[in-house]
Amino acid sequence: MLVNVEGRVMRAAMGRSGIGTLKREGDGATPRGRMTPLAALTRGRVVTGYAALPVPHRGVRPADGWCDDSGSGRYNAYVRRPYAGSHEALLREDGLYDVVVATDDNQRPRVRRLGSAIFVHMARPAMTPTEGCLAFPRAAWQRAIVPLGPYLIGIEPRPRR
């Protein structure tokens, strides 16, 4: 699928259910709309290559997780592992989250069951679908995040004046 990044149209892997308008937790869709980066997490070995990220960023630690349990008071937020509720580890062995950017989707305010965070991360080599996130191929990764967002998914960009 295609996404508009700062006026550049780029190929990206998206949710297994395609682009959705009415997002729900676990539906596998990437939400239609404009997503703005809020923060970036970088795996220790690549931090130096991304020092110019224009959003707050820090290294990922083994205890970092993200809560996707819509019944939890920590839904759609960072958690420290081990964590009793459903969550995702942010330090992954497959390298997909070597740099992961959290977007503003369902963040302010967080609404339970409307989908946990949409991350921007590296795609699998075969560009297989994500659980709803936006994933760019490694070869295009630097161009996809610098300059960083916003990301337009399933909508046309506003004309520049």
Supply the pLDDT for residue 47: 44
Q: pLDDT digits over 43-75, tens only?
A: 765 444 455 555 667 888 999 999 999 899 999
Write down the pTM of the prediction.
Answer: 0.85
Helix (H) or strand (E) holding 39: strand 37-42
Would you state the pLDDT for residue 161? 57
| pLDDT tier, 140 (very low <50, low <70, confident <90, very high otherwise) | confident
Per-residue confidence (pLDDT) for residue 108, from 0 to 100: 81
Percent of the chain at pLDDT exceeding 90? 40
Buried b (16+ CB within 10 A) or exposed e, 8-44: eebebbbbeeebbeebebebebbbebbbebbebbbbe
